[in-house]
């Protein structure tokens, strides 16, 4: 198991630069969020749709940076969130095998806005990520998960990324690491 914390790009500024929705509380980010040239290049981990579905079942909303009115794969415009929720798959919305083979990590964002709500949301969100990644790993004959947790530091103090590499069942204890970032440590 490996856990490292490093600085991360300004999520809000990057989302605006890419013409995307700015997440405030909880979101799934594409694994290439900081490096994508435009939203059409977004590459989500293949488990993203499963986690979104699990979150939705407990009323956690993914505020991810789905592109606003950007053309889809076939040149169709419209709300990417709506396209994703009705199951239309494009590289910008869901991962394909190319994204997985590129080693795209699963990326979760927890914004400072989450601090104003009930504390259970953080634990449940990570618990569901753990469950989905563990299930997928077992089916693939693996044990390890690759997870990046991007955390907004309060009071405009930037963003941190907690990089986790290890057993998918070790994800829930990372709640402590997220709270440490929020506490300024």
DSSP string for 98-115 = HHHHTTPPEEEEE-GGGG
Q: What is the pLDDT of residue 139?
A: 72
For 15-68, the pLDDT digits (tens) are: 999 999 999 999 999 999 999 999 999 999 999 999 999 999 999 999 998 744
What are the distances in angstroms from CA 56 to CA 12, 60, 65, 151? Answer: 23, 5, 17, 21
The arithmetic mean of pLDDT across residues 100-114, rounded, is 85
pTM here is 0.82
Indicate if the pLDDT at residue 142 is higher than 80: no
Q: Which residues pair with 158 in a beta bridge?
A: none
Q: In this structure, what are the phi and psi dihedrals at residue 77, rounded to the nearest 5 degrees?
A: -90, -175
């Amino acid at each position: 198991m490996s856990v490292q914390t490093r600085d991360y790009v300004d999520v809000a500024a990057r989302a605006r630069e890419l013409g995307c929705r700015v997440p405030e509380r909880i979101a799934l980010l594409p694994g290439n969020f900081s490096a994508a040239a435009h939203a059409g290049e977004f590459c989500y981990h293949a488990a993203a749709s499963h986690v979104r579905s699990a979150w939705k079942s407990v009323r956690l909303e993914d505020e991810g940076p789905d592109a606003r009115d950007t053309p889809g794969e076939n040149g169709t415009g419209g709300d990417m969130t709506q396209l994703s929720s009705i199951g239309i798959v494009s590289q910008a919305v869901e991962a394909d095998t190319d994204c997985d083979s590129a080693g795209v990590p699963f990326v979760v964002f927890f914004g400072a806005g989450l601090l104003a709500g009930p504390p259970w949301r953080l634990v449940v969100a990570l618990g569901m990520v753990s469950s989905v990644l563990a299930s997928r790993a077992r089916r693939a004959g693996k044990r390890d998960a690759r997870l990046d947790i991007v955390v907004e530091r309060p009071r405009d103090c930037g963003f941190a990324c907690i990089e986790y590499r290890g057993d998918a069942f070790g994800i829930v204890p990372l709640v402590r690491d997220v709270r440490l970032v929020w506490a300024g440590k």
